[in-house]
Chains A and B, each alone.
Chain A
Amino acid sequence: MEEKLLEIKNLRVRFVTERATADALNGVNLTIRKGESLGLVGESGAGKTTTALASLKLLPRGGQMLDGEIYFKGKDVMRMSKRELLDMRGHRISMIFQNPLTSLNPVFTVGEQIGMVLRQHKGLNKKQADEEAMRLLETVGIAGYRLNDYPNQFSGGMRQRVGIAAGIACNPELLIADEPTTALDVTIQAQILELMKRLQKEYSTSLLMITHNLGIISELCEKVAVMYAGRIIEYGTVREVFSDPRHPYTRGLLGALPKLEGDRDRLTAIPGTVANAQHLPEGCRFHPRCEHCTEECKKQQPEMVQVKEEHFVECFRGGKFDG
């Protein structure tokens, strides 16, 4: 087994705002090993972005980590010194943000926004950073001379690629990509996926790929984790989980798709309403939508059980629904 790169144990995060309290993460366990690529799927509000931000110790204002531990290469992230933390962020782990329209600073050039990470971590001066940023722009399919343009001179898809260029600038050990291809057309999307595959091979970069697109996961990832209402409810190799899904939610997800290659599927085809982090049900959080629900499911939290060597599911019935 490869070395554990990122290990999240029993992570609980709550958001307290003036209006409401949301239980975003309710005991997340997740491990990413060196060189591994993990797909994280789940409907909107499941807690995917929160999991990623917590790993960088960057929860937004109002977010409290109630419980849990996060280790990066065996080091407790919550106990890291300022220096270790800054070195982890952007250098060892880099994150591509979900919304390209809001994640670039409108009053700085894209060159500056790619270059800052190089100056910070690689000790490059302004000129070297500019040259390297140009090269990175070319890598993601943007002409290098556009270095001194501002974000709003680019389309959404191009801004996303600028974010990707900044994300890969320092050859991170772990790349967290939060829906990096949603705003891209199919050709560019394919190029970006190729690029990520290449990074994985050349630098053995680990990947945490957050997406709604199951096609991307089957293309890019070895492992997949399915998230529901702030918990991982199914985990295993992509081959195992996709060919033999056990959790009723995962089954719904896969059944809702005409084909695996289905493009940009928002995960809405499962009956019932999306779980609301402000009013989560007792017991198994999926039970109001589950056709196999029993009395036990309404009262108790199921444990993660192993169904195959590399396949786990969090369901009382362990995915056996013959009766």
Chain B
Amino acid sequence: MYFRYILRRLGQTVIVLFFISILAFALIRIAPGNPARMMLPDTATEEQVHAKEMEMGLDKPLYIQYIKYIGGVLRGDLGTSASYQTSVGSIIADRFPATLLLTAATILVSLLISIPIGIIAGIRQGSMVDFLAMLFALIGQSMSTVWLAVMMIYIFSVKLNLLPALGMGGIKYLILPAITLGYPLAAQVTRMGRSGMIDVLREDYITATLAKGIPESRVYTKYAFKNALIPIVTVVGLQVGYFLGGAVVVETIFSWSGVGQLANQAVGNRDYALVQSLLLVIAAGFALVNLIVDLINAKIDPRITLE
């Protein structure tokens, strides 16, 4: 059952990837102007443009051009960046680990905080703990990222001089951007954990489990939690997708040289080859994360595979 579901989702993902590649391919060709010129720096000569036109096969039918393009992508050849004058593949490969690291740290920090808080708040609905948890969530969901980032830098770097504000290095450099990026997510997961637990604890099957003499602590952490987890996995997956696409604002403010900052620069420099490939990589990453989320959820909740 689960195996068939995996196959089905894999098939769907391949189709999604296909459409993403068409989109990235079309980006350059639909935009006004000469596609070959767009792939080159502004300073390129007529000969260079002509050579590029030949290379892209612009005189050939579109499907041939697509096959050429996708063949290049599959071989890891994403073209040359106009602003960096090196291969797009190596630029992205250079930046991706930083974004991955920031994403991992962000998810870790926010889940470690929000899941226990949300669960406890749900179990103790109406208590002081619940009130504080809701306050924590409310603040996190209403604060803008820019403002939060500025406050973090002001308090922890400028005033207390505890943590570096900008750049990359050890763990120290990771803390402020991870918290800034993670707080809104933590707020959301806290709320979902809480409301999920409240709903689940009302269910007959939880009363039935308690009636079997299973200790409350185990009923909550094992038998109820698994039900409350499903929507959380979905939301966290969505966020991972966004973060992998680069958290543009946070990466830019904290001078974190990740994919988000790169995308920001690429658009600013009108570096089409880079933009095209970033679109492709980010969207593909999103589709893959989605696939993983669905597979995890299907593992948690067997009803999903039975539809």
| Chain A residues proximal to chain B, CB less than 8 Å | 53, 56, 58, 60-61, 82, 85-91, 94-95, 97, 99, 102-108, 113, 116-117, 120-121, 150, 152-153, 163, 166
Minimum Cβ distance to chain B for residue A57 (Å): 9
Known: A105-B223, A152-B306, A153-B306. A89 touches B212 (CB 8 A): yes
- Partner of A58 from B211, B223, B226, B300 at Cβ < 8 Å: B211
The 9 closest A-B pairs by CB, nearest first: A90-B213, A90-B212, A89-B213, A102-B204, A105-B205, A117-B212, A103-B204, A150-B302, A86-B213
- Range of interface residues on B (Cβ < 8 Å): 20 to 34
Look across to chain A and name the residue whose beta carbon is closest to the beta carbon of B306: A152
Contacts A105-B203, A106-B301, A120-B213 aside, 14 further interface pairs with beta carbons under 8 A come to A58-B211, A60-B207, A61-B201, A91-B213, A94-B211, A97-B204, A97-B207, A97-B208, A105-B209, A105-B223, A108-B223, A113-B209, A116-B212, A117-B214
B75 at the binding interface (Cβ < 8 Å): no
B227 at the binding interface (Cβ < 8 Å): yes
Determine if B211 and A105 form an interchain contact, defined as CB atoms under 8 angstroms apart: no
B296 at the binding interface (Cβ < 8 Å): no
B151 at the binding interface (Cβ < 8 Å): no
B4 at the binding interface (Cβ < 8 Å): no
Alpha-carbon separation in the docked complex, A88 to B301 (Å): 31
Known: A53-B207, A97-B208, A153-B306. A105 touches B227 (CB 8 A): yes
- Partner of B211 from A90, A99, A153 at Cβ < 8 Å: A90
Alpha-carbon separation in the docked complex, A163 to B208 (Å): 9
Determine if A107 and B207 form an interchain contact, defined as CB atoms under 8 angstroms apart: no
Alpha-carbon separation in the docked complex, A95 to B210 (Å): 10
Alpha-carbon separation in the docked complex, A53 to B209 (Å): 13
Determine if A102 and B205 form an interchain contact, defined as CB atoms under 8 angstroms apart: yes
Determine if B226 and A108 form an interchain contact, defined as CB atoms under 8 angstroms apart: yes
Minimum Cβ distance to chain A for residue B295 (Å): 15
Determine if B306 and A102 form an interchain contact, defined as CB atoms under 8 angstroms apart: no
Determine if A107 and B204 form an interchain contact, defined as CB atoms under 8 angstroms apart: no
Alpha-carbon separation in the docked complex, A61 to B203 (Å): 11
Determine if B210 and A61 form an interchain contact, defined as CB atoms under 8 angstroms apart: no
| Chain B residues proximal to chain A, CB less than 8 Å | 201-215, 223, 226-227, 300-303, 306
Residues of B within 8 A of A102 (CB): 203-205
Alpha-carbon separation in the docked complex, A98 to B193 (Å): 28
Residues of A within 8 A of B202 (CB): 60-61
Known: A104-B205, A108-B223, A108-B226. A58 touches B212 (CB 8 A): no
Determine if B223 and A56 form an interchain contact, defined as CB atoms under 8 angstroms apart: no
Minimum Cβ distance to chain A for residue B121 (Å): 15
Determine if B205 and A166 form an interchain contact, defined as CB atoms under 8 angstroms apart: no
Residues of B within 8 A of A107 (CB): 226-227, 300-303
Residues of A within 8 A of B210 (CB): 58, 89
Residues of A within 8 A of B207 (CB): 53, 58, 60, 97, 103
A-B contact pairs, 7 of them (CB 8 A): A58-B207, A87-B213, A103-B208, A104-B205, A105-B203, A108-B226, A152-B306
Residues of B within 8 A of A61 (CB): 201-202
Determine if B212 and A56 form an interchain contact, defined as CB atoms under 8 angstroms apart: no
Alpha-carbon separation in the docked complex, A274 to B81 (Å): 79
Minimum Cβ distance to chain A for residue B66 (Å): 44
Minimum Cβ distance to chain B for residue A114 (Å): 10
Residues of A within 8 A of B208 (CB): 95, 97, 103-105, 163
Residues of A within 8 A of B204 (CB): 97, 99, 102-103
Residues of A within 8 A of B205 (CB): 102-106
Alpha-carbon separation in the docked complex, A95 to B212 (Å): 8
Look across to chain A and name the residue whose beta carbon is closest to the beta carbon of B223: A105
Look across to chain A and name the residue whose beta carbon is closest to the beta carbon of B202: A61
